[in-house]
Structure 1
Amino acid sequence: MTDTQISDEEFWNTRYAESGRIWSGKPNAALVREVADLAPGRALDLGCGEGGDAIWLARQGWRVTAVDVSRVALDRAAGHAAEEGVADRIDWQRHTLGETFPEGTFDLVSSHFLHTLGELPREEVLRTAAGAVAPGGVLLVVGHSGPPPWEPDAHPDVHLPVAREVLADLRLAEGEWEVLVCEEHERLQTAPDGQQMVRTDNTVKVRRLAG
């Protein structure tokens, strides 16, 4: 999440440049849980960071367009993909979502923890993401349901919606979508002091009806 005095691009470039790896390199558990049974096709990964999700999708046979605001993250992710032997299956693209968006339609559009303190119009971006889902394809949105338990008053000006709010904000056309999952789930997360704490996240998974 960013300081509103600098752009998201500046913040994330600085954050990623602070160390050789920020995230674990593993795919998000919700992605594996919700996508493992889908037939591979074209996938769009929004906010791909260091590429853990995109690389996992490529390993499963997907052709992936992976998007992030940070060129530092994208370059690092591309290096990881080359090490894993899937570089030819992933197209890394830099976008400031809300201003630019990847072209085309996709069998899977995945957004995990697309939150920021900056000017990102998250609801608008996710509606655009829904528009990029091909007939029969799936939109998967995973996010935080409220602030972390170790800092409950963190960033009071940032709204972290629950699953039903995420679904409502998508404004999906009636009769054109099937809601597959709309729920909260808990996971262990390591607090800054090293303590393991339970954080509540949410998953919204919808399929665009074919024809």
Structure 2
Amino acid sequence: MTDDHAAGPPAFPAPSPADGYVGDPAVRAKWDDLYADRQQLWSGRPNGALVAEVAGLTPGRVLDVGCGEGADAVWLARGGWDVTALEVSGVALERAAGHARDAGVAVRWVHAALTEAALPPASFDLVSAQYPALLRTADAAAERALLSAVAVGGVLLLVHHAGMDTRQPEEGGFDPADYVWPSMVAALLDEDWKVEVDEQRPRVAPEGGAGAHHTHDLVLRARRLR
């Protein structure tokens, strides 16, 4: 972990959830529509792999990538983390902000795509991406954005549903070739990183909410050494 917490939070603007979206409007619209179709999409409880992997970490600055309705962000803030939560859907962010207010915790909200967010590099003691829908590009922009956000001594925690990366494309819908998977991030790790966990395990899933039918996780946890 970094030892400069006294310097304060990362120095970038903290827009309200409804303001200043940076990214592809079509991506925002897709996710806004998904959230708007249901009053609550997810369970409202933190992801099991996050709870397990964070248990031994000292709270510091954390980036929650694809925070959705805010369950992980609120849980981390309650645990003493200085939370920055990023999401493309304004509908989801408004719900997340409401949950944070109800819980009496402070979260810094960023309404942007990961690759467009202009996050301060090497500034987070933990970068958590739980089941993110990160679009794949030829230059591996999303993968590199995840890695660049991690501070020296910090941890990247990437969790995804096992088997999703090998599914057959769906006509007019999901194609695994369009998205970033943990193996793609792991392939970019060099001598500056130590892989602490890279495995498939049974999923500890919150009850209810979309995705509850998935039974196993892919978990990649890597620490930045320098």
Equivalent in 172, 187, 191 of residue 203 of structure 2: 187
Q: How far has the Cα of 1:37 moved from its partner?
A: 1.3
- Number of positions where the alignment pairs a residue of Structure 1 with one of Structure 2: 192
Task: Work out the CA distance in 2 between the residues paired with 1:153 and 1:11.
Answer: 21
Equivalent in 78, 85, 89 of residue 97 of structure 2: 78
How has the CA–CA distance of structure 1 residues 32 and 15 changed in structure 2, closer, same or farther, with 3 Å as cutoff? same
- Give the equivalent residue in structure 2 for 1:108: 126
What per-residue deviation string (whole Å, max 9, x for no partner) do you get for residues 24-78 of structure 1? 1101100000012100000000000000111110011001000000111111100
1:61 equivalent in alignment to 2:80: yes
Q: AA paired with 2:141? A: E
Task: Work out the CA distance in 2 between the residues paired with 1:141 and 1:27.
Answer: 14
- Give the equivalent residue in structure 2 for 1:3: none
How has the CA–CA distance of structure 1 residues 177 and 154 changed in structure 2, closer, same or farther, with 3 Å as cutoff? same
Task: Work out the CA distance in 1 between the residues paired with 2:55 and 2:31.
Answer: 29
The two structures have a TM-score, normalised by structure 2, of: 0.75
Q: How far has the Cα of 1:135 moved from its partner?
A: 1.1
Q: How far has the Cα of 1:85 moved from its partner?
A: 1.0
Task: Work out the CA distance in 2 between the residues paired with 1:143 and 1:78.
Answer: 24
Aligned residues: CA RMSD? 2.8
Task: Work out the CA distance in 2 between the residues paired with 1:58 and 1:25.
Answer: 15
Structure 1 unaligned regions, length at least 5: 1-5, 191-195
How has the CA–CA distance of structure 1 residues 49 and 198 changed in structure 2, closer, same or farther, with 3 Å as cutoff? closer
> 8 Å contact 2:48–2:203 — kept in the other structure?
no
How has the CA–CA distance of structure 1 residues 177 and 189 changed in structure 2, closer, same or farther, with 3 Å as cutoff? closer
How has the CA–CA distance of structure 1 residues 181 and 99 changed in structure 2, closer, same or farther, with 3 Å as cutoff? same
Q: How far has the Cα of 1:164 moved from its partner?
A: 4.2
Secondary structure of the residue aligned to 2:203 is: strand
Hey, which of these two has a bigger chunk of strand by percent? 1
> 8 Å contact 2:133–2:180 — kept in the other structure?
no
> 8 Å contact 1:181–1:205 — kept in the other structure?
yes
Q: How far has the Cα of 1:102 moved from its partner?
A: 2.4
Q: AA paired with 2:60? A: G
1:209 equivalent in alignment to 2:225: yes
1:126 equivalent in alignment to 2:143: yes
Q: AA paired with 1:115? A: A
- Give the equivalent residue in structure 2 for 1:193: none
The two structures have a TM-score, normalised by structure 1, of: 0.80
1:157 equivalent in alignment to 2:161: no
How has the CA–CA distance of structure 1 residues 9 and 120 changed in structure 2, closer, same or farther, with 3 Å as cutoff? farther
Secondary structure of the residue aligned to 1:140 is: strand
Task: Work out the CA distance in 1 between the residues paired with 2:164 and 2:141.
Answer: 22
Q: How far has the Cα of 1:183 moved from its partner?
A: 0.5
